[in-house]
A and B are shown apart, each in its own frame.
Chain A
Amino acid sequence: MLWELFTTFFKIGATTFGGGHAMVPIIHREVVDTHHWLTNEEMIDMIAIAEITPGPVAINTATFVGYKKQGVLGSIVATAGVVLPSFLAILAIVSLFLKIENAPVVEAIFKGMRPTILALVAWAATRIAKVTLKDGFTFAVCGTALVLVLLLKIHPVAVIGLSAAAGLVHSGYSWKKRAQNASRGKEDLQ
């Protein structure tokens, strides 16, 4: 079982490019369809949990499935399996890259790539913004975060902490209102 965990997640780690949600169909096929280590519902839950916990969905899934099947050892083996392919690939590429990075043609290639990398990051930002910015509160948090990190040079970790606190305060406020309205409604009925 441990070996199966390792090889399956090694396969997942080796065949997924681009990370994040691109990996989900492959993980689903292996974990749910082929090995039946998770049910469909559990997979959906897993993705939701992976959104909330630190770390990419592939690693979180490996950890979780590994634990479910073979405890802590299973989680370590599965996680190592999913991380190893990219680790080895990067080592191979980087040692080569560092040798050739000063060659003029390599510099030219990267000069062409950098604007696209910028576009990729900007696109990632707009994608998340599209989904999350929908009311005054979210716009306010987004705007404030931008000011904090770009103008005031506040550390992103601090901004994340502050935004979590803001979310709690804001929700607390709306919970309170809902509770008030509910009790007010009850009073009207009487």
Chain B
Amino acid sequence: MIVSLFSTFFLIGLFTFGGGYAMLPLIQKEVVGFHHWLTMTEFIDVVGIAEITPGPIAVNTATFVGYKIAGILGSAAATLGVVLPSLIVILLVAALFVKVKDNPYVEAAFSGMRPAVAALIASAAINILPSSITDVRSALIAIASFSLLRYTKVSPILLLLLSGALGALIY
């Protein structure tokens, strides 16, 4: 189980390009879809807590999932797994002076990868829709939150805390 946690999050960490949210579709597929370590609803909650706590959302999610599944040892395994790929890659880049920045092949590959990442994150949103929009109230909260995020500089953390407070009131 511990080894499985480590290897799963190593894979997830290895293929997370373009920011922390890019990790979500990977975690969805592996942790929820394949291993069934979390339900979709639990996955959503994990993302919420990872957003509120300090640190990159990617690492926080790994730590949380690992703990939920196998306690402290599990959280250590998952966190180590998700951090190791970037450690190794950056060391290789730095030590070997591998030119990745203006490399035309890297840029070419990323020209294809970036739109795919947008699609993958969108797919993650679509997958969590049934578990997050359960009634009219939640639909309204979602629309209001999205509008605020889109058109104001509101802090996501503040928004999450507010909607949590709202939830306590109306549910």
| Interface set of A (CB-CB < 8 Å, partner B) | 13-21, 23, 45, 48-49, 51-56, 58-60, 63-64, 67-68, 72, 75-76, 79, 83, 85-87, 89-91, 93-95, 97-98, 101, 105, 107-126, 128-129, 131-133, 137-139, 141-143, 145-146, 149-150, 155-157, 159-160, 162-168, 170-172, 175
Check A114 against B116 for contact (C-beta < 8 Å).
Answer: no
The answer to whether A114 touches B55, judged by C-beta atoms less than 8 angstroms apart, is no
CB–CB A75/B87 < 8 A = yes
In the bound complex, CA of A23 to CA of B20 (Å): 12
How far in angstroms is the closest Cβ of chain B from A79? 6
Which has the most chain A C-beta neighbours within 10 Å: B13, B49, B55, B120?
Answer: B55
Q: Which of B64, B90, B91, B168 is close to A105, meaning CB atoms less than 8 Å apart?
A: B168
Chain B residues near A160 (CB-CB < 8 A): 15, 17, 113, 116-117, 120
* Nearest B-chain residue to A101, judged by Cβ: B45
> Closest B-chain residue to A133, C-beta based?
B115
Cα distance, A64 to B160, chains bound together (Å): 33
Question: Out of B17, B44, B75, B143, which one reaches A87, CB within 8 Å?
Answer: B75
Closest 3 CB pairs of A and B: A112-B167, A86-B55, A167-B112
Residues 15-48 of chain B, each 1 if its beta carbon lies under 8 Å from chain A, else 0: 1111111001110010000000000010011011
Query: Measured between C-beta atoms, what is the minimum distance from B99 to chain A in Å?
Result: 10
Q: Please tell me which one of the listed residues B60, B83, B114, B141 contacts residue A115 in the complex, with CB atoms under 8 A apart.
A: B141
**With A112-B163, A113-B164 already in contact, 18 other A-B pairs whose C-beta atoms are closer than 8 Å:** A13-B55, A55-B85, A75-B90, A79-B83, A86-B59, A90-B49, A90-B60, A90-B75, A105-B168, A111-B138, A112-B138, A115-B139, A115-B145, A116-B159, A125-B118, A129-B115, A149-B120, A167-B112
Interface of A is mostly: helix
Judging by beta carbons under 8 Å apart, are B67 and A51 in contact?
A: no
Contact B126 A54 (CB under 8 A): no
Q: Contact between B133 and A159 (Cβ–Cβ < 8 Å)?
A: no
CB contact between A143 and one of B72, B100, B119 (< 8 Å): that residue = B119
Q: Is the beta-carbon distance between B168 and A64 smaller than 8 angstroms? A: no
From B20, B83, B101, B128, contact of A117 by CB (8 A): B128
Q: Scoring B residues 123 to 140 as 1 if CB is less than 8 Å from chain A, else 0, what string do you get?
A: 111101101111000110
Interface size classification for chain B: 35 or more
Chain B residues in the interface with A (C-beta under 8 A): 11, 13-21, 24-26, 29, 41, 44-45, 47-60, 63-64, 67-68, 72, 75-76, 79, 83, 85-87, 89-91, 93-95, 100-101, 104-126, 128-129, 131-134, 138-139, 141-143, 145-146, 149-150, 155-157, 159-160, 163-171
